[in-house]
Amino acid sequence: MGYWLMKSEPDVFGLEHLKKMPNKTEHWDGVRNYQARNFMRDGMKVGDQILFYHSNCEVPGIVGIAQVVREAYPDHTAFDPEAKYHDPKSDPENPRWYMVDVQYVRHLKRNISLHELKGHAEQLPDFPLLRKGNRLSVIPVSEQAWKYILDLE
């Protein structure tokens, strides 16, 4: 079983939004970073668990859990000239960007803020979120880090 962390801006699409979607499921479109794409396309499997992280907000941190319910397929929003994340270099014959479908699992009993996580940096040596300048929106999480973080809950 794989573990991941995905960032989202709660003002744009937060965990509450995901919970209210039909089937509590939404496609994770708009990823336009090659490293993040590769993690989604090559790494994510159905059933993988996701730490849902809120960024760019009052208290950035992990707020809940989601899971992968569909493996990577072309992000069609890249083909649409009207779409915010349109990419003229991506087309249906040769898609450049991919997305997965993500389903709401649950909120954490309490939010685990970035600030709090920083206090556990020693126990989370490989946790990319704590690295300076980290901007990836899709990040693999080790099983140890997954368990450690959920034990904080």
Partner DNA sequence: GCCAACGTTGGC
Distance of alpha carbon 10 from alpha carbon 29, whole angstroms: 15
Structure tokens at 107: 């909120």
Residue 33 binds to DNA (criterion: CB under 7 A): yes
Distance of alpha carbon 94 from alpha carbon 36, whole angstroms: 18
Residue 88 binds to DNA (criterion: CB under 7 A): no
138: CB partners within 8 A, 6+ apart: 4, 5, 6, 7, 31, 36, 37, 39, 40
Q: How far is the CB of 38 from DNA (least distance, A)?
A: 10
Q: How far is the CB of 22 from DNA (least distance, A)?
A: 26
Distance of alpha carbon 70 from alpha carbon 28, whole angstroms: 10
Residue 17 binds to DNA (criterion: CB under 7 A): no
Residue 57 binds to DNA (criterion: CB under 7 A): yes
Residue 86 binds to DNA (criterion: CB under 7 A): no
Residue 131 binds to DNA (criterion: CB under 7 A): yes
Residue 41 binds to DNA (criterion: CB under 7 A): no
Which residue number, 17 or 131, has a Cβ lying nearer to DNA? 131
If you search the block for the tokens 């397929």, which residue do you land on? Answer: 73
- Residues forming contacts to DNA in the complex (CB under 7 A) are 7, 9, 33-35, 55-57, 60, 89, 114-115, 118, 131-137
